[in-house]
Amino acid sequence: MLTYLANPARFMRWSGPPLVPLAVATALTLAAGLYLALAVAPPDYQQGESVRIMFVHVPAAIMAEGVYYVIAAASFVALVWRHPLAEIAAQAAAPLGAAFTLVCLVTGSLWGRPMWGTWWAWDARMTSVLVLFFLYLGYIALVNAFDDMSRGARAASVLALVGVVDLPIIKFSVDWWNTLHQPASILRAGGPTIDVTMLVPLAVMALGYVLLFVTLQLVRMRTALNVRKARALLLAAPSRRGGATAAGAPPDATPVLR
Amino acid sequence: MTGLTGFQAWAAMGGYAVFVWPAYATALVVLGGAGLFSWARYRASLRDLDRLQREPRER
């Protein structure tokens, strides 16, 4: 199965056709989610209308962690089996994970000010999510820190695997320590504790975020493969060296596609 | 008049508008920006690859 998937040309063939349907499904799901979140869901009896921030914050938090699991798994496969697409998948996902984590941090802060009376607290949950954001930035920086792309990719993969230790800390921080952040109310033993009128908009928004990630991940992986193929073409024709660059690709970069 | 008042009440978000709307704007700008940037880079990579693949035949 891995050998079958390891073929970039095969990936390019199957990942092209679903792009437009996925983009349309993403747009429709997010539009429905926003309608439910802003116009249908009732205000909370304690938080009032500020509860609507939850509909963009919680799915972002779920994606921030979920995307990191994707990167860690892909990095593991890239390190152990040298799977060519795994490395590309991890590198394509990192900026998306960072974006979801940034949304999670900013919207959490905007919710915290009226509810907790502070924009930020060095609380275990918030601090561990901030660490996750720095892990994403560190991963992206490491990938681009070396002239030899494969060395950068390996170093970043190791960082991604080490950083996995932060994920259970994020998840259980609200149980292990006395935190300002409330305990889990959705992904918990015994089922969600929030009312179905809020759970449905939350689920639709979460589905929209997942679809957005899948769509952009495919787009970014296809972009990376195009850039690598362009590099290979530049290197194959000596007269082109030092001339045109494909999507910012340095002319002396190592070709991956052959 | 009632419609406008209803809209104004909804937009005011029970006094939390200054927190709710920036939260949605942040999500829109960051995630929408990631989407637009990714798509623009994808189109640029297709254009560059197409140009590089055509060059030898054009000589």
Q: Residue A156 in contact with residue A101, Cβ under 8 Å? A: no
pLDDT digit string (tens) for B5-56? 888 888 999 999 999 999 999 999 999 999 999 999 999 999 999 998 887 6
Q: Residue A114 in contact with residue A36, Cβ under 8 Å? A: no
Would you call B6 an interface residue with chain A, using a CB distance cutoff of 8 Å?
A: no
Look over chain A and give the mean of its residue pLDDT values, rounded to a whole number: 87
Max distance between CA atoms of chain A, in angstroms, equals 70
Q: Which residue range(s) make up the domain with B17? A: 2-58
Is A43–B14 a contact, with Cβ atoms under 8 angstroms apart?
A: yes
User: What is the pLDDT, as a whole number, of residue A241?
Assistant: 52
Token digits for A199? Answer: 């759970």
Q: Is the pLDDT of residue A240 over 60?
A: no
Cβ-based neighbour number of residue A59 at 10 Å: 27
Give me the total of CB pairs closer than 8 Å, taking one residue from chain A and one from chain B.
Answer: 108
φ/ψ of A44, rounded to 5, equals -75, 145
Q: Which residues of A touch B35 (CB under 8 A)?
A: 212, 215-216
Q: Please, which pLDDT band fits residue A171 given cuts at 50, 70 and 90?
A: confident
Per-residue CA distances from B37 to A99, A220, B41, B42 (Å): 12, 10, 6, 9
Q: What's the structural domain count of chain B?
A: 1
- In b/e form, how buried is each residue of A31-58, taking b as 16+ CB within 10 angstroms? ebbbebbbeebeeeeebbbbbbbbbbbb
Is A49–B44 a contact, with Cβ atoms under 8 angstroms apart?
A: no
Q: Is the pLDDT of residue A147 over 90?
A: no
pTM for this prediction: 0.88
User: How far, in Å, CA of A105 to CA of A10, rounded?
Assistant: 38
Would you call B52 an interface residue with chain A, using a CB distance cutoff of 8 Å?
A: yes
User: What is the pLDDT, as a whole number, of residue A252?
Assistant: 43
In the predicted model, what is the mean pLDDT of residues A116-140? Answer: 94
B57 to chain A, closest Cα gap in Å: 13
